[in-house]
Amino acid sequence: MASRILPASIARRTLQSAPQSIRAASRTIPYVAPRTKNLWDSYRPALRIAGQRRALSNTAQTRFANADGTFDPRHHERESDEVDVCIVGGGPAGLASAIRLKQLANEAGNDDFRVLLLEKAGELGDHIVSGNVIEPGALNELLPDWLSEDNPNRFEHVTPAKEDRMRLLTKTSSIPIPKPPQMNNHGNYIISLNQLVKWLGERAEEAGVEIYPGFAASEVLYNHEGVVKGVATNDLGISREGKPKDTFERGMEFHARVTLLGEGCHGSLTKQVVKKYDLRRDSQHQTYGLGIKEVWEIQPEKFQSGLIVHSMGYPLPSNTYGGGWMYHFGDNMVSIGLVVGLDYPNPWLAPYGEFQKMKHHPMYKDVLEGGKCIAYAARTLNEGGFQSIPKCAFPGGALIGDTAGFLNVPKIKGTHTAMRSGMLAAEATWDALQANADTGTIFLYDYEDKLRSSSIWSELKQVRNMRPSFHTPLGMYGGIIYSGLEAYVLRGKSPWTFKHGRPDYAATKPADQCKKIEYPKPDGKISFDILTSVSRSGTNHEEDQPVHLQVKDWDKHAQVEWPKYKGVESRFCPAGVYEYVEDDSKELGVRFQINAQNCVHCKTCDIKVPNQDINWTTPQGGEGPKYVLT
């Protein structure tokens, strides 16, 4: 009987009814069952793997040890799979790329062309955070009937944008100011990107993409020539002390002719590839913002469907870039949040605390009072823009989406550029593979060319000077004035290109040079303590695993950071991961502590810590936040 590859999620759901040993095997060995007369035929490979693992766990201590007796999983070979294209990241860029690749393969009648997508979240969308007002051009091109009434599978969770407001806030007032033309949202839609990504995943599976949620790609694989040949997922079942548990499972390798990295902002694999191939040799460093967000259900009489509000000024000081938003969408829902540029200088500033203060401003509080907060999320975003775009193609693959930095900061949008970059990479990949049918190295030169001739390039170039203009001595007000000049007069045609200031971590000043900030106690109605918020993110990590926030020496870290910055880590983290706990046994009187189970994967620590000695890596696949409506 002829067989076909089933979408991974269908195979996973089928295995849900299997015995526990089979489900455990399927957890990290993505067996995709062929269609057979006997369902149990599809379980046999998983049974074989489960048996191997039982034998493996009995001998792990002796077989996987170094000469000094320490555990080393590298002594055991990983399972592997061969695909045509491997995509890391199930966000808008990764899914758009996957769908476009299968569209091209299906049009060519190539049913055997394998596109595999790995996503570290337990389900697609669980780690997705955004405003989000989407500009639909790229989505219209990828899936023209995505909103059509004639399409039974259309995306239904859209709220047409109706009204834009821009406000400059003082502590008690709200001053209307002109919005730049880039922020005109006529024809756009307010959505939950979390919902859109889930819907895109269904469309990708229908096209034949193999989707593997819960698989955290943690290592880039190279061939003997230094060309990327795929990725490997991390090992599971290792204790906090680095020893194998009964549940130990070696990660899996996915080999591909082309590997596309769509990890989102500050991707852990992207960092490795950028460094190895020096992809930033012709660009400036990246700059970042931290976005903190809540979703509220508000009283019906306060709801204004399609209303889009942006604010600048209060509560942020004039030397700190950022702004707030509130979008009315769905049924009596509002998305409210604050973005804080991570080049802020004062180590006493806490973005989470600033967000809680902002909600008490009358403009926001009047809407939220009497409502209910139902979700919380936080994530960093790239703000470097045109100057900070690295080389995006490397031997064997490419960077797509926000991991490459295609966010349009003045427009406050990046989903459309992320999706378009994924589609361009897909087309370049398909053409390159058709032109190189042998096993030679694939270099996506055409992807770089396509980017430069696309709307992404022209759009980002036009607004390239707006964000860095806030680095002038005039601060926020000077940036507003210059941005207005760029938006209405120069329109990106100025012969100069501003440079960014120092990297975000280097912008942090010593604590004794800055004014200490005291934040008011949360009232539990409009503002909340940080652990209450984290509980609304659905975050969960198994505690008995290696800390994925890697600091080589915790005591040394404290000795370097505490005297100068007085616990900046505990303030920049929006999830209460980092603490300095009073400890008389320590010379400093405090002990540095990492509560990794609280981590919402925002990656602020990796970006902002002044000594740059925190390395964010992937925890076990399927763990982290489980966002809803974000």
Which residues lie below 8 Å from residue 30, measured CB to CB, with a gap of 6+?
8, 11, 81, 210, 212, 215, 252
Q: What are phi and psi of 414, to 5 degrees?
A: -145, -10
Q: Tell me, yes or no, if 417 is annotated catalytic.
A: no
Q: What is the dihedral of CA 244, 88, 113, 210, to 10 degrees?
A: 70
Helix (H) or strand (E) holding 98: helix 92-107
Instruction: Give alpha helix (H) positions in 129-232.
Output: 137-142, 193-207
Closest CA to 327 of 175, 185, 484: 185
Cα distance between residue 583 and residue 542, in whole Å: 26
Q: Note if 415 is an active site residue.
A: yes
Give the whole-angstrom CA distance, residue 581 versus residue 589: 8
How many Cβ atoms from other residues are within 10 Å of residue 46's Cβ? 23
CA atoms within 13 A on the CB side of 620: 23
Distance, C-alpha 242 to centroid of its chain: 27
Active-site pick, 192, 380, 415, 527:
415
Helix, strand, or coil (residue 490): helix
Among 26, 97, 130, 403, the one annotated catalytic: 130
**Integer Cα distance of 460 and 386 in angstroms:** 5
- Tell me which of 379, 420, 464, 467 is the catalytic residue: 379
Among the listed residues 98, 31, 619, 609, the one whose alpha carbon sits nearest the alpha carbon of residue 401: 98
Out of 602, 604, 618, 630, pick the active-site residue.
602
Q: Is 379 a catalytic residue?
A: yes
First-to-last CA distance in the chain?
Answer: 44
Measured from the Cβ of residue 443, the count of other Cβ atoms closer than 10 Å reads: 18
| Cβ count near 364 (within 10 Å) | 21
Task: For residue 265, indicate whether it is catalytic.
Answer: no
Number of residues written out for the chain: 630
| Consecutive H or E run containing 85 | strand 79-88
- Rounded-to-integer distance, Cα 15 and Cα 7, Å: 13
Non-local CB neighbours of 243 within 8 Å, separated by 6+ positions: 61, 71
Q: Please confirm, yes or no, whether 618 is among the known catalytic residues.
A: no
Structure tokens at 534: 């984290």
Active-site residue identified among 86, 265, 373, 605 = 605
Could you tell me the two tokens for 328? 């009315």
- Options 218, 573, 618, 630, the catalytic residue: 573
Beta strands at 578-582 and 590-594: parallel, antiparallel or unpaired = antiparallel
Tell me, rounded to whole angstroms, the distance of Cα 47 from its chain centroid: 35
Among 599, 604, 618, 630, the one annotated catalytic: 599
Catalytic site positions: 130, 379, 415, 573, 599, 602, 605
